A and B are shown apart, each in its own frame.
Chain A
Amino acid sequence: MTTAQQTAQAGVLEKAEGGDLETAVATIINPLEISRIAWEGVVRNKVRSLLTMLGVIIGVGAVIIMIAISAGTEATIAEQIEGLGSNLVFIQASFGRGGAGGGGGDQVTLVYDDIAVVESVGGVAGTTVDQTTSQTVKAGDVTLTDVPLMGTTPDFPEVRDVAVADGRFFNENELERSTKVAILGAALAEQLFGAANPIGQSITVGTTKLAVIGVADEKGIVGNTDFDSLLYVPITLVFDKFLPTQFRQFAGDRVRIIYVQVEPEADMELVIQQIQLKLATSKDVTVDELPFTMQTQQDIIDTEGATTEAFRNLLAWVAGVSLLVGGIGIMNIMLVSVTERTREIGIRQSVGATPNDIRLQFLTEALMLSLVGGLIGVALGVGGSFLFGSTSDMRTVIVPSSIALAFGSAAAVGIFFGFFPANKAAQLDPIEALRHE
């Protein structure tokens, strides 16, 4: 037979039997089937698969728990700041800007009489002020040292959102006269008097005897202040008895902070501007020279937010590293698996599996390992967050997007680290794979 004859014969046969090869090559086999084959690979070695997933499980679980803790902390902080009272502006002397006016001007500071200036601004609902110091307090045979003394005004419970549980707060009259009365924080009352009723009892603060007229409700720690351990007294009493300075003779009574409650419908920014203007006028300086900082709750929330932001970045690193380790674990086991199953690969190739079929099979297997690991990790993370929140005093809030993020990263890790072993499997030669022992 001549070559021409053969070619002619071949052509005829090709029409009859072949011709559809290109279409066949381009056709992909059922993805469900690939998934099934891959899944069989995962469940065949259950213990090993589980150990392989461990890195991803821990990574994903840790991410969710840590984000839950950080979100919980953030929520607590936000609540505490809300608990400062509503629509508050804090006016504080800023230390860094002391000598702004130059010469005698550096005596510009926040004083008790500034309250009157602030209150004259429209939109201001109320003000209070505090000046703190610490004193030794005696009641009967109980002596407590370094008790924080909070000198303030009668508006304090309203502006700072502190309720009086028993008795009453002091009034304007008592403030003006520096009456020797005190209100105890809940924990302080407990420490000084135990179960006995403190109202009407007297305590000795430093060398001064005060009458207890009220006990505050529990409020807990807000900002950096433990409200329950405070001893509230009229601020005038603090100026007279506990913080006498040379300074008050010519500048007035220095205060630490003025709290301004703004009316809900008032424009916060506008009120702040006007307060600054009036204070500056009363002190005879320009607004820029005014050595005070004006902070709103939002400012404080933002500051706290920056702290948690840093914490979150750290978490992201921890998560990244654990997922990386998990991914390397998957790659390692997949490489072992490809070597172990070389013969299986050869058998599949001999009955028609293409390199792509094999690649997809192992890639899917790696993806499944990481996804199942991710799923277990999510369960562990959510469960762990609940457990952590309920057994410790740390609060946890499960963030749904953290679950999606963790799961998504796990999947990405599976595909990324599964690719090299899957490619290795796909490139095996059928004959060599079949000969593999």
Chain B
Amino acid sequence: MTAIIKTEQLTKIYGMGDIQVAALGGVDVQINEGEFVAVMGPSGSGKSTLMNILGCLDRPTSGHYFLAGQAVSGMDKVQLAVIRNQRIGFIFQSFNLLARTSALRNVMLPLVYKRQGQLSPAEREEKAMAALEAVGLADRAHHDPNELSGGQRQRVAIARALVNDPVLIMADEPTGNLDTKTGNEIMGLLHKLHERGRTIVMVTHEPDIAAQTERSIVLVDGLVAEDGRSQPANAQMMNAK
């Protein structure tokens, strides 16, 4: 079993002034290669904060984080940028696509900032096209985000997360802005990726969605409250009562 994510006493404290908010109060998690993990918990429990640190977008206040064995918690901005580019595909609730930029060029973006094994423009386009095909959007490659539906936008974002062949896919409420049907389509895509061996960590509020994963980590007040096999949706609802 290979640990893709391994954290030790990860903390994040916001507001260095008088009022301090401990968004994370010492999180220990290990996520292994090929796992599909849901992160749950009430609003404000620190899910996004954890995701951002695990996605190397943010740095913890204290604690250690090993990504595929590499200690990233002590890295500087430049190193983190390279790690994000090489290792991580991030999917956001609000898609975060470049406006007035075609789906294809959005998907090509991580390849533009690829530093090792730089690709020619033609190769970049080819790879991006393949990624768009994988999410079923090849026919929309030359459309701008504002010409696409929410579900389609999220699929472009997934293609972008995939294109650089990352070891880890982080998704912060990827279905949060979508209706149930579209959300399920997106989940279908993530399942496909998981089946092909990708490691996926996904934040969700919806028990239905969490139930489709192998493992659920529940955060409460910045601490891991539960960590175990995902339960069927109805069982979770009974737990909540």
Q: How many A-B residue pairs have CB under 8 A?
A: 108
A431 CB–B CB distance under 8 Å: yes
- Assuming the A-B contacts A29-B112, A344-B98, A355-B78, are A350 and B84 also in contact, with contact meaning beta carbons closer than 8 angstroms in the complex? yes
A18 CA to B86 CA in the complex, in Å? 10
User: Contact mask B160-187 → A, CB, 8 Å, 1/0?
Assistant: 1000100100000000000000000000
Contacts of A10 in B (CB 8 A): 66, 69-71
Which residue of A11, A24, A351 is within 8 Å of B69 (Cβ)? A11
List residues 82-110 of chain B with CB under 8 A from any CB of chain A.
82-86, 90, 92, 96-100, 109-110
List residues 42-90 of chain B with CB under 8 A from any CB of chain A.
52, 55, 57-58, 66, 68-71, 77-79, 81-86, 90
- Assuming the A-B contacts A14-B69, A430-B57, A434-B96, are A350 and B78 also in contact, with contact meaning beta carbons closer than 8 angstroms in the complex? no
List residues 365-397 of chain A with CB under 8 A from any CB of chain B.
none
A25 CB–B CB distance under 8 Å: yes
> Within the complex, what minimum Cβ distance (angstroms) separates A18 from chain B?
5
Q: Which residue of B lies closest to A14 (CB)?
A: B69
B143 CB–A CB distance under 8 Å: no
Q: Are A357 and B79 in contact (CB under 8 A)?
A: no
Q: Are A18 and B84 in contact (CB under 8 A)?
A: no
B191 CB–A CB distance under 8 Å: no
> Within the complex, what minimum Cβ distance (angstroms) separates B4 from chain A?
9
- Assuming the A-B contacts A29-B118, A352-B86, are A18 and B69 also in contact, with contact meaning beta carbons closer than 8 angstroms in the complex? yes
Q: Are B84 and A29 in contact (CB under 8 A)?
A: no
User: Contact mask A25-41 → B, CB, 8 Å, 1/0?
Assistant: 10111100100010000
Q: Are B52 and A354 in contact (CB under 8 A)?
A: no
Q: Are B113 and A352 in contact (CB under 8 A)?
A: yes
Contacts of B55 in A (CB 8 A): 350
Q: Are B110 and A44 in contact (CB under 8 A)?
A: no
B237 CB–A CB distance under 8 Å: no
A310 CB–B CB distance under 8 Å: no
Q: Are B112 and A21 in contact (CB under 8 A)?
A: no
Q: Are A352 and B58 in contact (CB under 8 A)?
A: no
A12 CA to B90 CA in the complex, in Å? 26
Which residue of B69, B77, B98, B99 is within 8 Å of A9 (Cβ)? B69
- Assuming the A-B contacts A352-B85, A354-B77, are A12 and B69 also in contact, with contact meaning beta carbons closer than 8 angstroms in the complex? yes
Q: Are A27 and B116 in contact (CB under 8 A)?
A: yes
B115 CB–A CB distance under 8 Å: yes
A6 CB–B CB distance under 8 Å: yes
Q: Are B77 and A355 in contact (CB under 8 A)?
A: yes
A144 CA to B170 CA in the complex, in Å? 98
A222 CB–B CB distance under 8 Å: no
Contacts of A351 in B (CB 8 A): 84-85, 90, 109-110, 113, 160, 164
A14 CA to B87 CA in the complex, in Å? 13
User: Contact mask A422-437 → B, CB, 8 Å, 1/0?
Assistant: 0000000011001000
A17 CB–B CB distance under 8 Å: yes
A10 CA to B3 CA in the complex, in Å? 9
A353 CB–B CB distance under 8 Å: yes
A403 CA to B109 CA in the complex, in Å? 38
- Assuming the A-B contacts A430-B58, A434-B57, are A347 and B110 also in contact, with contact meaning beta carbons closer than 8 angstroms in the complex? no
> Within the complex, what minimum Cβ distance (angstroms) separates A269 from chain B?
68
A141 CB–B CB distance under 8 Å: no
> Within the complex, what minimum Cβ distance (angstroms) separates B80 from chain A?
8
Interface size on A, residues (CB 8 A): 39
B2 CB–A CB distance under 8 Å: yes
> Within the complex, what minimum Cβ distance (angstroms) separates B113 from chain A?
4
A168 CB–B CB distance under 8 Å: no
Interface size on B, residues (CB 8 A): 39
B6 CB–A CB distance under 8 Å: yes
Q: Which residue of A lies closest to B94 (CB)?
A: A434
Contacts of B113 in A (CB 8 A): 29, 348, 351-354, 357
- Assuming the A-B contacts A355-B77, A356-B78, A430-B57, are A18 and B115 also in contact, with contact meaning beta carbons closer than 8 angstroms in the complex? no
Which residue of B82, B100, B114, B118 is within 8 Å of A21 (Cβ)? B82
- Assuming the A-B contacts A17-B167, A29-B112, A44-B100, are A349 and B81 also in contact, with contact meaning beta carbons closer than 8 angstroms in the complex? yes
> Within the complex, what minimum Cβ distance (angstroms) separates A424 from chain B?
15
Q: Which residue of B lies closest to A18 (CB)?
A: B70
A111 CA to B98 CA in the complex, in Å? 89
> Within the complex, what minimum Cβ distance (angstroms) separates B85 from chain A?
2
A13 CA to B68 CA in the complex, in Å? 6
> Which of B66, B77, B110, B115 lies at the interface centre, i.e. has the most chain A CB atoms within 10 A of its CB?
B115
A23 CB–B CB distance under 8 Å: yes
Q: Are B68 and A29 in contact (CB under 8 A)?
A: no
> Within the complex, what minimum Cβ distance (angstroms) separates A271 from chain B?
73
Contacts of A12 in B (CB 8 A): 69
> Within the complex, what minimum Cβ distance (angstroms) separates B3 from chain A?
7
A20 CB–B CB distance under 8 Å: yes
A347 CA to B52 CA in the complex, in Å? 13
Q: Which residue of B lies closest to A23 (CB)?
A: B116
Q: Are B69 and A13 in contact (CB under 8 A)?
A: yes
> Within the complex, what minimum Cβ distance (angstroms) separates A45 from chain B?
11
Q: Are B69 and A21 in contact (CB under 8 A)?
A: no
Contacts of B86 in A (CB 8 A): 24, 352
Q: Are B82 and A354 in contact (CB under 8 A)?
A: yes
A44 CA to B101 CA in the complex, in Å? 11
> Within the complex, what minimum Cβ distance (angstroms) separates A30 from chain B?
6
Contacts of A27 in B (CB 8 A): 115-116, 118
Q: Are B82 and A17 in contact (CB under 8 A)?
A: no
Which residue of A14, A21, A349 is within 8 Å of B79 (Cβ)? A21
A21 CA to B67 CA in the complex, in Å? 13
A351 CA to B189 CA in the complex, in Å? 20
Q: Are B116 and A24 in contact (CB under 8 A)?
A: yes
Q: List 22 A-B contacts (CB under 8 A).
A: A6-B66, A9-B3, A10-B70, A14-B69, A17-B69, A24-B116, A25-B115, A29-B112, A29-B115, A30-B118, A37-B112, A346-B96, A348-B109, A349-B81, A351-B164, A352-B82, A352-B164, A354-B113, A356-B78, A357-B113, A431-B52, A431-B58
Given A350-B55, A355-B81, output 11 extra A-B contacts at Cβ < 8 Å. A13-B2, A14-B70, A17-B167, A29-B112, A29-B115, A344-B99, A347-B98, A351-B110, A351-B113, A354-B78, A434-B57
